[in-house]
Structure 1
């Protein structure tokens, strides 16, 4: 699903956020990219999500070399192949949960009735079937994050990227959000979680620790975590590049 080869990212002023990172994540994996602030993990997410381009190196998502995709194809990959969840929910105020999720499908060319049908199904899957008409201010933090996750997966993308999805939540709400992400992974979605929380990372099947823009050995196992890392079993796994969207 994800293949990075010698990927580096240097910003103006000579700031290196990623330094020759090589990483493979197979279809169906549940992975934590973990590290302190400034380790490069958010830059990694932006590059995996095609929100940013590397200074050098190759990035393949679901078999596509993203550097060779024209802008329209790249936008289509981002819109239909990748779901994004962020620490802050980015829900539209004064808009129901149903329409917050349905509006995430606007660029898919679907009719309004179909967008709302898919949105309702995604919210049911997220355990919010009873909150369809509630606006963000009427929801708890955990419920708002569930709405954001429902919006990210309403289009059934094969890859979900979650950037500190529990960072703004209390421990109970955070546990519920992690259970939802596990359930999505069990149904076949590849889930990559960016986190600084080592407890969250330790509970996941695979960890990719980062420091100073590099992937480093997992301190809990001593194993390599990049291209040659051992991987546990996962649902619906195929080698990256074996499918097309």
Structure 2
């Protein structure tokens, strides 16, 4: 099959009837002599809230970039919302990202001279949405994250937590299937980080699948499912009582 074609298959459905929206099978990534991923297999079902946790260099951000189709694996297969991304052209991958994936990064990546509305509207640039409709949806997304009173503010007029909320609004403005958050609280103080985490929980409660990349063990422990990575591999997975796991982590640190 030519790489420009788009192969769509129904997502795998486990016995509980919830479809799998992300599926990695034996995924590797090699940069020169460095093996960043050594054969990762992972499934994320629709509506999950998952923490991918591990130390620096564990491969978690590399995996996120591959899941988000910002990078291609060296080997293995990746499926996003039923699409085998290995069969897609660069243009088709851009459409897939616009249709299904929202990104939240640690350092916000907002345009300094643009208003909050303009920054959020940029999240629809590749979705074929007219400018007036982009603006309308951007305001609605900002209201959804509690920033309806900041729509005309520029980044220098916003706190760190507000900047991250703008970034989250930009990520969700296209109503993505999956929200990928890479260290979303890493650049924030404790109070702002807690508020952003509460917002991610709220989005998850509304039906969004959320994957959070973090090195923060307590943050990971507060989420329903943890995937632990080390040396480019999934070391373990667990679902936990958040309070009990957080207490255990504090007790062994």
Report the TM range for the smaller structure's normalisation.
0.7 to 0.9
Residues in 2 aligned to 1:195 and 1:52: alpha-carbon distance in whole angstroms: 19
Counterpart secondary structure, 1:104: helix
1:7 match = 27
Task: Report the alpha carbon displacement of residue 230 of structure 1 after superposing the two structures with TM.
Answer: 6.6
Residues in 2 aligned to 1:230 and 1:5: alpha-carbon distance in whole angstroms: 21
Contact 2:224-2:239 within 8 A present in 1 as well: no
TM (norm. structure 1) is 0.88
Check if 1:211 corresponds to 2:230.
yes
**Runs of 4+ more than 3 Å apart:** 229-232
1:18 match = 37
Residues in 2 aligned to 1:196 and 1:87: alpha-carbon distance in whole angstroms: 12
Check if 1:103 corresponds to 2:122.
yes
Counterpart secondary structure, 2:126: helix
Deviates more, 1:99-108 or 1:130-139: 99-108
2:61 match = 42
Check if 1:53 corresponds to 2:58.
no
Q: How many residues align?
A: 221
1:111-158 deviation line (CA, Å, top 9, x unaligned): 211111100000000000011111100000000000000001001011
1:183 match = 202
Task: Report the alpha carbon displacement of residue 88 of structure 1 after superposing the two structures with TM.
Answer: 0.3
Work out which structure has the larger RCO, using CA pairs closer than 8 Å and 6 or more positions apart in sequence: 1
2:248 match = none
TM (norm. structure 2) is 0.85
Deviates more, 1:161-170 or 1:102-111: 102-111
For structure 2, the residue ranges without an aligned partner over 5 or more in a row are: 1-20, 242-253
For structure 1, the residue ranges without an aligned partner over 5 or more in a row are: 218-224, 233-245
Contact 2:95-2:126 within 8 A present in 1 as well: no
Counterpart secondary structure, 1:45: helix
1:240 match = none
2:143 match = 124
Contact 2:226-2:239 within 8 A present in 1 as well: no
Task: Report the alpha carbon displacement of residue 72 of structure 1 after superposing the two structures with TM.
Answer: 2.0
Residues in 1 aligned to 2:240 and 2:119: alpha-carbon distance in whole angstroms: 36
Residues in 2 aligned to 1:230 and 1:197: alpha-carbon distance in whole angstroms: 16
Counterpart secondary structure, 1:194: strand
Residues in 2 aligned to 1:150 and 1:173: alpha-carbon distance in whole angstroms: 16
Task: Report the alpha carbon displacement of residue 107 of structure 1 after superposing the two structures with TM.
Answer: 1.7
1:236 match = none
Counterpart secondary structure, 2:28: strand
User: Aligned ranges for residues 165-180 of structure 1 at < 5 Å?
Assistant: 165-180=184-199
Residues in 1 aligned to 2:210 and 2:50: alpha-carbon distance in whole angstroms: 6
1:197-233 deviation line (CA, Å, top 9, x unaligned): 001000000000000001012xxxxxxx2xxx7799x
Residues in 1 aligned to 2:191 and 2:235: alpha-carbon distance in whole angstroms: 31
Residues in 1 aligned to 2:192 and 2:207: alpha-carbon distance in whole angstroms: 23
